[in-house]
Structure 1
Amino acid sequence: MKKTSLLLLGLLSLASCKNEEKTPEKKFTEITGISQDLKPGDNFFRYVNAKWYDTITIPETQAGAGAYMFMNYPQRLRLQGILDSVSQSENVEGSIAQKVGDFYASGMDTATINKRGFEPVQPILNEIDAISDISSMMHFVTNATMAGNGSILSFYVGPDDKNSQMNIAHASQTGIGLPDRDYYFSEDSGTKEIQEAYKKYLSTLFQLTGISDAEASNKAGVVYDIEKQIAESHRTRIERRDVKANYNKMAVSELDKKHPNIGWPAVLEDLNAQTDSIDVGQPEYYDTLNSLLKTVPLEDWKVYLKAHTLENYADNLSKPFVDASFDFTKVISGQAVQKTRGEIMASAVDGYLGEALGQLYVKKYFPEEAKERMQELVDNVQKAYAKRIEDLEWMSDSTKIKAKEKLAAITKKIGYPDNWKDYSNVSIDKDTYFENIVSASSAAYQRNLEKLGEPVDKSEWFTTPSTVTAYNNPSANEIVFPAGILQPPYFDNDADDALNYGGIGMVIGHELTHTFDDQGAQFDKEGNVKNWWTDSDYEKFKSRIQQVIDQYSTFTVLDSLHIKGAMTVGENTADIAGVAVAYDAFKMTEQGQDTTKIGGFTPDQRFFLSVAKIWRVKMKDEFLRLWINNNPHSPPSWRVNGPLMNNPHFYEAFDVQPEDSLYLAEDERILIW
């Protein structure tokens, strides 16, 4: 998955037992729960996971259970244990333990938080009331942005896609409260319900500030109308996959002429951003915003800004605000009960002080020997990938050379950063949870701003060490595997190679493939958007990418709801090739070259069983619908069945026949990498 995309673990444990071949010198992880009454070739996800799936109960505080993103639930309990301990200890002022512990303690003090009501945001609401014209409105917007209170401006500093060694200013579309633009225009009953729930949420937030029900409802309508106009300018998720179309570096002087109402020079001055150009990812948004700043009455804009302030901070205010936020979450995700305060605060500390908490997590839960074995796995999968490139029939030798150069240049990050983030400018007090959040947000903005015009720091991480995820960052040509994902079912230092290559090996292959998916393939080995293909090879590549889009678009998920093939193509490509290259790497090991059964399964079968177990997930229907509409990954069942129906070694391992549901004729199976 990509940098902003997440690959997270679930509620799952694998018990260790001695192998059935009576080899007392080594223990093997037993694979349990196989449904022998089902045919592997009909639905391999069900064959491996049905017994678990049909009996597991999704916790009331969650929208799903199992592996993948839901593994962050037990992770948060681990973090909570660390935080409970450190928050009750005497810590040196200014130390990591003090900041992490006191931040957690301030958020756990719900008595003080509830007593304050919405008093923490009252000064912000007063600032909005004082806005007198568009200029003063934009002044408020920029200052709020720096404190983490975003609304109509999305500004950040990051690598230049065409000069990846340098950081530049970026601006992207923003301004809506629903998950995506399409929620404002879809007419199906499920989306209509979400629209009404969102309007009710907005109305409730206004009511909680002392406004009458009728006035609050009217204000909610004003906000929704503005957001719908904004949403019309947003590019779709599929359109945002176009790397080149989303690179629009413009001179500030040019932007100032185009957008006099925004006033870019004044905005940048308020942001303390010294730059003469900005990469505007989606120019249509800022074109529309410039017009709306004049056509929407100023008083309506003030209502909008109040709504977004209350939305941004609702979960950090008193219980009525938290409850209102959850009522909307319940409709959109299906989650039945609010998370415990401890779990909420574990997520908050991880979000605001992630690398500080990460240092404590790594010290307790991530042994150095795990990092060493993981490095070996990554190296082997990388070697297997190089051979696959060399063996490709559809690619010319000249492009193969460039592809292998890019593969060899990949930076591999495992476990945790070499250099930890500095939180010395974050002020934390046990009695002021809201102010702690503002301080951490402001410090994060300043850290990001300091990069402007500076060389890219290739050692920086964009996830916390404890998060169960992995990512590929194309602008840095790097793959990253935090300590959080390096645990069962993905990685087990005591397990046999079949399980590790089918688990974390598949993830490694997946992340490597993002270097060569529909987006990653447009970046060179230095991380620049630059063509390194022959024209003929790139056309062949695009035709294979289209095969992935077409195939996955036929997969039905829920009722008549299909996977969005064009939106998920990058992740699906990475899944197909990820399994294939992980298998090749497994065959390089001693076990991979053996045929000795363990627990009744051959090494090859154990490899594919492991692939299915790492996506052992069950979700509520509401969350699954949310997933299909917004997540660039296919649902877990198709992260198993989709890649395997294209993999010839799976057919051999489980004797898949033409009458089986997953069977594809050889000429229909997709091979890209």
Structure 2
Amino acid sequence: MKKLLIGAAVGALLLPASAALASDDHGHACVDEACTVLALFGDAEGATGYQGTEAPSYGTWGFGLDGRDTSVAPGESFFRYANGTALEGLEIPSDRTRYGSFDLLRELSDNRMKAMIAGLVSRTDLAPGSDELKIADLYRSYMDETRIEALDDQPLQPYLAAIRAADTHDKIAAYMGATQGLPGGSMFGTGISIDQKHPDRYVTSVGQSGLGLPNRDYYLDARYADKLVLYRAYVERMLTMIGWDDPAASADAIVAMETQIAEAHWTPIENRNRDKTYNEYTPAALIADAPGFDWTGYFSAAGLGSIDRMIVRQNTAVPKIAAIFAAAPVETLQAWQAFHTTDDSAARLSRRFADAEWEFNSRDLSGQPEQRSRDKRGISFAERTLGEAVGRQYVADYFPAASKAQMEELVANLRIALSHRIDHLSWMGPETRAAAQEKLAKFTVKIGYPNKWRDYSALEVRADDLFGNTERAGTFNWQYQLNRMNGPVDKDEWGMTPQTVNAYYNSANNEIVFPAAILQPPFFDPTADPAVNYGGIGGVIGHEIGHGFDDQGSKSDGDGVLRNWWTDADKTNFEALTTRLGAQYDTYEPLPGYHVQGGLTMGENIGDAAGVAVGLEAYHLSLNGQPAPVLDGTTGDQRFFYGWAQVWQQKIRDEALKQQVATDPHSPAEFRVIGPLRNLDAWYDAFDVGPDSKYYLAPEDRVRIW
């Protein structure tokens, strides 16, 4: 379970890692505000499918025609038509829950980091205190299995002793505050982020938390009843392993209490609404509105005793959770705290703990058949802990300056294309149009890597102390958050590391960010046909720009201020279009009985629709009035759509897909291809899709937003 709430609302291509995409050692999804991240895609853990350190290649001009399944008509499933044969030959590695274009590049990034870290570990001349030595020592500490097994649960014992000593409700509240950044759990997620209405300063945010399963649906929806049974058994297993009193009864009480908390939680769709999740409070107002929890002791222990205002995200859920906390027996709260501390620590403890944690959180919840090898987990641990230090070396080794220059040109063309489209929107009036153009003109673009690197000199790392390294890193990162409160917003800060295969939009900074690791095939290939690049990375650029104009991003202006810059008539027109788009996605059923939630995935779906529409127009503009060449019998528009489909080439295990539908603001890969294309006139023309096709939409039913 995560306790940390991260920054201003950010939109990412996959889902919510880093400051923008926070995840823990278990690969748990982010909670609360961190889950408003609008990244390109969801979390991706390392795997075994791709072994090289050189970028992959696709066909002779950027797309592998032999990967198509031409027995499937484009209008029946363009996802299968463009990728079907490639998918038939694609096997999900046993240590993964999904595999495809993103995951291959994630492995490529991991392989490169593995080679880099291996080189550092082999050196004897690394300077004491240097980032390079810290990276090597982090990896050494993770790989020191002999010491880890000998310690077993000893690193956990001080926490368990402190929990047993917290024998009143107020003491437990203070304990939750004191362990910010450390292993444990809290009923409330707390973090420091950019203030969405005052983006020149930071603010403390408080929101709902307290669950050990992915979200409320896993407690309340009958479709996930089997997972709840497995969870209760896992809770008992962990409590038994640490010698907690009466683990069976404690597990029953914990699950019963978390079910009450789940009933109080807002739904994932409600959590997306930035108007409703921005609720200003003073500490006194929170104490009055949510009695039953010692907020003063909690904030003081967390180092936040001096704050005079905060944002309470789920302002109707937080009082209910405080009441649940107050009504719970102290013994139940202590057992709950002990379990979550153990669960949160297990990956850095002996094998019996790490295996138990993996078996539930990865195998049972997500269907992953095999645990990742320890060396891969060690690389991920070092990379997560010293992300920008690893990224600095990654950029030096693998990101040519020419790629950044080409990306800058592509982004400029996408901005021109969207500006042109805004000028010709039939549903938007002149006042809103001018504000939209102003916002577009103020976009900041970050490509490859940050202008300045994070300073890790204050972080102590020891080669023989895995658990201690985790504690010190957690404290270091929490102090980094606290230090923000007294300074201006750092506009140079990145929410992802350069080695992250993803991209994002940050509304408070009105910025789009493209880390180095995504700027390679199949997204971006300097040698590929331009149409494929515009369909791949061009679609990604358009997607991220589109987040600035999706149903939530459009609530912030060009300076990042959360405010309404729309006329009433234009807002009504926009909401009518998004409602129609959401209804389309509600009909998609990736597994029997599991439909896409159009309301949950709305922002990403708008981003995808904008990405392909704006990307295609930018491609046409890049031709400078000249006809596109025909390559291997394919037109320029066809190659553009192939490029878009290729980046979503993916297989996913059923259990992981069920979890995605319940928790992820991104639609499954199949519908990230089909959904936006069937609303685009040019796709019908490019592939001669007619009314008899499954995914045909009559022109009047096609949703054209941006």
TM-score, length-scaled by structure 2: 0.91
Is 1:282 the equivalent of 2:314?
yes
Q: 1:293 aligns with which of 304, 325, 345?
A: 325
Deviation at 1:291, TM superposition (A): 1.7
Deviation at 1:69, TM superposition (A): 4.9
Counterpart for residue 159 of structure 1: 194
Q: 1:550 aligns with which of 567, 570, 583?
A: 583
Deviation at 1:301, TM superposition (A): 0.8
Q: 1:429 aligns with which of 462, 472, 481?
A: 462
Counterpart for residue 5 of structure 2: none
Deviation at 1:18, TM superposition (A): 5.6
Counterpart residue identity of residue 474, structure 1: S
CA RMSD after TM alignment: 1.8
Q: 1:143 aligns with which of 159, 178, 189?
A: 178
- 1:14–1:30: 8 Å Cα contact kept in structure 2? no
Counterpart residue identity of residue 258, structure 2: E
- 2:173–2:295: 8 Å Cα contact kept in structure 1? no
Paired with 1:152 and 1:555, the residues of 2 have a C-alpha distance of 35
Is 1:173 the equivalent of 2:208?
yes
Counterpart for residue 24 of structure 1: none
Counterpart residue identity of residue 600, structure 1: G
- 2:59–2:65: 8 Å Cα contact kept in structure 1? no
Is 1:658 the equivalent of 2:701?
no
Is 1:471 the equivalent of 2:532?
no
Counterpart for residue 298 of structure 2: 267
Deviation at 1:82, TM superposition (A): 1.6
Counterpart residue identity of residue 402, structure 1: A
Is 1:84 the equivalent of 2:118?
yes
Q: 1:72 aligns with which of 87, 101, 106?
A: 106
Counterpart for residue 22 of structure 1: none
Q: 2:363 aligns with which of 330, 344, 353?
A: 330
Deviation at 1:304, TM superposition (A): 0.7
- 2:391–2:498: 8 Å Cα contact kept in structure 1? yes
Is 1:112 the equivalent of 2:144?
no
Counterpart residue identity of residue 487, structure 1: Q
Counterpart residue identity of residue 352, structure 2: P
- 2:395–2:516: 8 Å Cα contact kept in structure 1? yes
Q: 1:353 aligns with which of 374, 378, 386?
A: 386
Counterpart for residue 158 of structure 2: 123
Paired with 1:37 and 1:123, the residues of 2 have a C-alpha distance of 62
Moved more, 513-522 or 453-462: 453-462
Counterpart for residue 250 of structure 2: 219
Paired with 1:361 and 1:404, the residues of 2 have a C-alpha distance of 36
Is 1:481 the equivalent of 2:514?
yes
Paired with 2:429 and 2:177, the residues of 1 have a C-alpha distance of 50
Moved more, 591-600 or 137-146: 591-600
Counterpart residue identity of residue 253, structure 1: A
Over residues 323-351 of structure 1, what are the superposed CA-to-partner deviations in whole Å (9 max), with x where a residue is unaligned? 11111121111110000112112222222
Is 1:55 the equivalent of 2:89?
yes
Is 1:247 the equivalent of 2:281?
no
Counterpart for residue 524 of structure 1: 557
Over residues 372-398 of structure 1, what are the superposed CA-to-partner deviations in whole Å (9 max), with x where a residue is unaligned? 111111111011000000011111111
Deviation at 1:254, TM superposition (A): 1.7
Paired with 1:429 and 1:448, the residues of 2 have a C-alpha distance of 23
Counterpart residue identity of residue 503, structure 1: G
Paired with 1:118 and 1:231, the residues of 2 have a C-alpha distance of 30
Deviation at 1:116, TM superposition (A): 0.8
Alignment: residue pair count: 661
Deviation at 1:222, TM superposition (A): 1.7
Q: 2:352 aligns with which of 310, 320, 326?
A: 320
Counterpart residue identity of residue 373, structure 1: Q
Paired with 2:56 and 2:390, the residues of 1 have a C-alpha distance of 27
- 2:535–2:641: 8 Å Cα contact kept in structure 1? yes
Counterpart residue identity of residue 257, structure 2: I
Paired with 1:396 and 1:222, the residues of 2 have a C-alpha distance of 57
Paired with 1:616 and 1:18, the residues of 2 have a C-alpha distance of 18
Q: The residue matched to 2:163 in structure 1 has which SS?
A: helix
Paired with 1:640 and 1:499, the residues of 2 have a C-alpha distance of 15
Deviation at 1:572, TM superposition (A): 0.7
- 1:223–1:303: 8 Å Cα contact kept in structure 2? yes
Q: 1:185 aligns with which of 196, 215, 220?
A: 220
Counterpart for residue 24 of structure 2: none
Q: The residue matched to 1:306 in structure 2 has which SS?
A: helix
Counterpart residue identity of residue 314, structure 1: A
Paired with 2:264 and 2:625, the residues of 1 have a C-alpha distance of 52
Is 1:541 the equivalent of 2:609?
no
Deviation at 1:29, TM superposition (A): 5.9
- 1:7–1:468: 8 Å Cα contact kept in structure 2? no
Paired with 2:114 and 2:659, the residues of 1 have a C-alpha distance of 28
- 2:178–2:298: 8 Å Cα contact kept in structure 1? no
Deviation at 1:37, TM superposition (A): 2.7
Over residues 464-500 of structure 1, what are the superposed CA-to-partner deviations in whole Å (9 max), with x where a residue is unaligned? 1111111111111111111111111111122121111
Paired with 2:172 and 2:60, the residues of 1 have a C-alpha distance of 68
Paired with 2:407 and 2:552, the residues of 1 have a C-alpha distance of 26
Deviation at 1:594, TM superposition (A): 2.4
- 1:350–1:464: 8 Å Cα contact kept in structure 2? no
Deviation at 1:671, TM superposition (A): 0.3
Moved more, 383-392 or 650-659: 650-659
Paired with 1:68 and 1:668, the residues of 2 have a C-alpha distance of 32
TM-score, length-scaled by structure 1: 0.95
- 1:49–1:613: 8 Å Cα contact kept in structure 2? yes
Structure 1 residues 253 and 334, CA, compared in 2 at 3 Å: closer, same or farther? Answer: same
Q: 2:623 aligns with which of 590, 597, 611?
A: 590
- 1:262–1:290: 8 Å Cα contact kept in structure 2? yes
Moved more, 170-179 or 215-224: 215-224
Counterpart for residue 73 of structure 2: 39
Q: The residue matched to 2:601 in structure 1 has which SS?
A: helix
Structure 1 residues 643 and 237, CA, compared in 2 at 3 Å: closer, same or farther? Answer: same
Paired with 1:628 and 1:18, the residues of 2 have a C-alpha distance of 36
Structure 1 residues 312 and 17, CA, compared in 2 at 3 Å: closer, same or farther? Answer: closer
Paired with 1:448 and 1:230, the residues of 2 have a C-alpha distance of 27
Structure 1 residues 38 and 122, CA, compared in 2 at 3 Å: closer, same or farther? Answer: same
Over residues 551-585 of structure 1, what are the superposed CA-to-partner deviations in whole Å (9 max), with x where a residue is unaligned? 11111211232111111111111111110000000
Structure 1 residues 14 and 451, CA, compared in 2 at 3 Å: closer, same or farther? Answer: closer
Moved more, 452-461 or 321-330: 452-461
- 1:497–1:591: 8 Å Cα contact kept in structure 2? no
- 1:14–1:31: 8 Å Cα contact kept in structure 2? no
Is 1:94 the equivalent of 2:129?
yes
Over residues 256-289 of structure 1, what are the superposed CA-to-partner deviations in whole Å (9 max), with x where a residue is unaligned? 2334442323322222222111111112333123
Moved more, 257-266 or 299-308: 257-266
- 1:142–1:153: 8 Å Cα contact kept in structure 2? no
Counterpart residue identity of residue 228, structure 1: T
Q: 1:232 aligns with which of 245, 249, 263?
A: 263
Counterpart for residue 676 of structure 2: 643
Is 1:567 the equivalent of 2:600?
yes
Q: The residue matched to 1:404 in structure 2 has which SS?
A: helix
Q: Which runs of 5+ in 1 are unaligned?
A: 20-27
- 1:334–1:622: 8 Å Cα contact kept in structure 2? yes
Deviation at 1:509, TM superposition (A): 0.4
Is 1:605 the equivalent of 2:638?
yes
Deviation at 1:595, TM superposition (A): 3.3
Paired with 1:182 and 1:42, the residues of 2 have a C-alpha distance of 32
Paired with 1:183 and 1:216, the residues of 2 have a C-alpha distance of 22
Structure 1 residues 70 and 627, CA, compared in 2 at 3 Å: closer, same or farther? Answer: farther
